[in-house]
Structure 1
Amino acid sequence: MKIAIFTDTFLPDVNGVAKTLGRLTTYLDSSNHHYIVISPKQTRNESATDQIYPQSSFPFPLYKECRISLPKKTEIKNLLLSFEPDIIHVATPFSIGLCGLQLAKKLNIPLVGSYHTDFDHYLHYYHLSLLSRPLWRYMEWFHQSMSRIFVPSAHTFSQLQKRDFHNIQIWKRGVDTTVFHPHYNHSEIRKKYNIKQKYILSYVGRLAPEKNIETLAYLFKNLPEQLNRQIHWSIIGDGPSKQYLEEHKTANVTITGFLSQKEVAPFLASSDLFVFPSESETFGNVVLEALACGTPVAGANAGGVKTIIQEGFTGMLCRQGKKDDYINAIASILENSIWRQQLEENAVRYAQKQRWEDQFEDLLTGYQEVINEERKTTKHA
């Protein structure tokens, strides 16, 4: 199979879309499929390769971690004519994604898309809710001509179905259990970061308003005093809200900044509980990674996260906007060591069944079905 991927974010970007597409291309390499990726140029991936074709880009003024690209449509069209893809996969709805959409129509190439980000939810955190209606109008238009829209969770499936999107298919995420597993030396993390407290609570992810970072700041100062004295918070990540957390952190909080996956995994495995208050996830890869490390999760009963955490079995779900639910969840799990051990064992067993290989094979099967359907339509036209 020959696949052309159009995306407005790709490695080395640090976000769920870029990481997922990076894993996908690695899998395509190992399974002898051919692909090209049209993505933004960055300082860390300046040069094109036989598979990656970076386009000129500049930071988005309101959100500098995102980039606006200026795709060279004529060059990309010639690239497609030379590569002759069986299918085009558009992963994002911005300038490069729009270029992929237009060229798929113009060159009559089967077209699929994937829906990764709850942009509507993001608008709420940036006080731009007035843009919700035009945003959905654009998203509906953008996806209407796609033969398949891949979504990461049943929650997102239902969300788009209510908006009258068609041809939706769930494409779940997986976890690399060779990296994320419980068998790390927990004392090394404690020694490296001078952690003396009995319990380690961790958060991994972007430090940004849409991740509900405000809840973490609240928890730093509002856990019961006796319990709080026994807790060390490890906040792993970077982003526009890092300064806000620095200003609100207490003596028992470490903010590490960005760490690689191989550095994150031992942290997760050494944690007694993973706290993830984000209500805007379409899936929540890091939640699955925490479970694979044997760490139960207190997470938001919202978005894709609620489809990963099994209440009372691998963690606890907290109601949207209810910060005290997290206090109750943290206290309940930490103060019951027998139950916590059972949660840890359940988490590992669940995560080990979520293999990336299976998820990518489901995606490739979806590709093939679309290609076959298009061929039948063309044959009978």
Structure 2
Amino acid sequence: MRIAIFSDTYTPEVNGVARTLKRYTDYLEKVGIEYKLFVPESRTPNPTVPQVERFTSIPFALYPECRIALPNPLSINETLKTFRPTLIHVLTPFNLGIYGAHYGKKNNIPMVASYHTNFDDYLTYYHLQFMKKWIWKYMTWFHRPFEKVYVPSPSTKAKLLSKRMHPNIDIWGRGVDAIQFSPEKKSDKIRMKYQIQEKNIVLYVGRLSPEKDIDIVFDTFHSLPKELKKSTHLVIVGDGPLYQTLSTDHCKQITFTGFLEREELAEMYASTDVFLFPSPTETFGNVVLEAQASGLPVIGANAGGVQHLLQDNQNGFLCKPKSVNDFVTKTTTLLTNDQLRQDIGKKARAFALEQSWNRIFDRLIASFEDILEVKTRKSA
């Protein structure tokens, strides 16, 4: 098997798709499957890797962390002619993905796609609802030629089937490094570095943007009972279009860290008390699984991919999307009940230990092999 992969985001960019893709390519190298990866150039300088070909790019308007590449067809053709892929895998439906699909169709190479982002849900937050109809038309047109489309969660699969985007949709879940993210990473260094004096620490990790319902995090914090709020500190980890505004508007008892590298991020998860994640637009929710692996109780929105990671009042709490009252109630419950917080943290960790990246990628490759076998039989 030789896989040509096309994506509009990759490490060192910091987002769920880029991180998943890095895990994916690391796995392919470990098991000895050859691949070529076509991605945009990064804003951050990175070492040249033989398997990776980068192209000039511009930021994507709705999601600047993703970049729209300007492919060089001659260069891609030359690389693929030498590489002779047996499978095309497209992770994003933009310029590079379009070119990958075109090449696969032209050369009769089996193709699969991944669906990672609910861009249609984002439109509401940017007052572009009128574009939803056209987004779905485009997504349906784009994905039709693929043998199969992979999605991260059952709710995403149900959504795409209801839109009749593609008849063959399968789940490609996500895993977590339970050694990297672990309760053992708990450290006093977090409190010392950020000068946190309060007893409790509430954490949010993710993009600072409207579609994450980040306002619910702040409203929840400010609505905590008076005495509880006095003893609670809010930590916001991440960057995004709202960073400048939020970090200026909110100061007292709130710390903005920006992006954190993996080791400090792991320490942050393990050294805080409650993880708030109100985003209703997730196809999965990688940060939720990282928090769970760290033994950190999660309070999330009962929507999208997050609802499949949290069993309410067992390994976390689920709240009605956008309900500040619900988030305040659950946050108060956890911060005022040490035993409950510990119990839920342990169950969250136990759940995360079952989400092995190797097992998930083994299933994905087995699915690829089935597709290639069927294609070979049809061609015989």
Give your verdict on TM over 0.5.
Answer: yes
Q: Which amino acid aligns with 1:129?
A: Q
Aligned to 2:129: 129
Where do 1:30-69 residues align within 5 Å? Answer: 30-45=30-45, 48-61=48-61, 63-69=63-69
Larger mean Cα displacement after TM superposition, 214-223 or 11-20: 214-223
Q: Which amino acid aligns with 2:113?
A: G
Q: Distance in 1 between matches of 2:198 and 2:24?
A: 40
Q: Distance in 2 between matches of 1:185 and 1:48?
A: 35
Aligned to 1:2: 2
Q: Distance in 2 between matches of 1:299 and 1:15?
A: 19
Alignment of 1:150 with 2:150, yes or no, is yes
On the 8 A contact 1:213/1:241 being kept in 2, the answer is: no
Q: Which runs of 4+ in 1 moved over 4 A?
A: 45-48
Where do 1:1-381 residues align within 5 Å? Answer: 1-45=1-45, 48-61=48-61, 63-164=63-164, 165-379=166-380
CA gap of 1:302–1:197, structure 2 versus 1, over 3 A, is same
On the 8 A contact 1:46/1:54 being kept in 2, the answer is: no
Q: Shift in Å at residue 332 of structure 1? A: 1.1
Q: Shift in Å at residue 334 of structure 1? A: 1.4
Q: Distance in 1 between matches of 2:353 and 2:54?
A: 35
Q: Secondary structure at the match of 1:17?
A: helix
Any idea what the Cα deviations from partners look like across 1:203-252, whole Å, max 9, x if unmatched?
11111111111112212322111110111111111111112322332411
Q: Secondary structure at the match of 1:354?
A: coil
Q: Distance in 2 between matches of 1:308 and 1:62?
A: 27
Q: Which amino acid aligns with 2:254?
A: V
Q: Distance in 2 between matches of 1:185 and 1:15?
A: 24
On the 8 A contact 2:10/2:19 being kept in 1, the answer is: yes
CA gap of 1:47–1:106, structure 2 versus 1, over 3 A, is farther
Q: Distance in 2 between matches of 1:123 and 1:230?
A: 37
Q: Shift in Å at residue 68 of structure 1? A: 1.8
Q: Distance in 2 between matches of 1:166 and 1:74?
A: 33
Q: Shift in Å at residue 186 of structure 1? A: 2.8
On the 8 A contact 1:7/1:90 being kept in 2, the answer is: yes
Q: Which amino acid aligns with 1:92?
A: T
Q: Which amino acid aligns with 1:363?
A: L
Q: Secondary structure at the match of 2:103?
A: helix
Question: Percent of pairs identical after alignment?
Answer: 43
Q: Distance in 1 between matches of 2:323 and 2:313?
A: 18
Q: Shift in Å at residue 91 of structure 1? A: 0.2
Question: Aligned residue pairs: how many?
Answer: 379
CA gap of 1:233–1:5, structure 2 versus 1, over 3 A, is same
Structure 2 gap segments, 5+ residues each = none
Q: Secondary structure at the match of 1:235?
A: strand
Q: Which amino acid aligns with 2:229?
A: N
Q: Distance in 2 between matches of 1:211 and 1:115?
A: 18
Q: Distance in 2 between matches of 1:50 and 1:184?
A: 34
CA gap of 1:268–1:122, structure 2 versus 1, over 3 A, is same
Q: Secondary structure at the match of 1:186?
A: coil
Larger mean Cα displacement after TM superposition, 92-101 or 59-68: 59-68
Larger mean Cα displacement after TM superposition, 37-46 or 276-285: 37-46
Larger mean Cα displacement after TM superposition, 149-158 or 336-345: 336-345
Q: Distance in 2 between matches of 1:250 and 1:6?
A: 41
Q: Distance in 1 between matches of 2:20 and 2:275?
A: 21
Q: Distance in 2 between matches of 1:196 and 1:60?
A: 40
TM-score by length of 2: 0.97
TM-score by length of 1: 0.97
Larger mean Cα displacement after TM superposition, 52-61 or 108-117: 52-61
Q: Which amino acid aligns with 2:106?
A: K
Q: Which amino acid aligns with 1:286?
A: V
Q: Distance in 2 between matches of 1:65 and 1:8?
A: 10
On the 8 A contact 2:14/2:65 being kept in 1, the answer is: no
Q: Secondary structure at the match of 1:267?
A: helix
On the 8 A contact 1:201/1:233 being kept in 2, the answer is: yes
On the 8 A contact 2:2/2:87 being kept in 1, the answer is: yes
Structure 1 gap segments, 5+ residues each = none
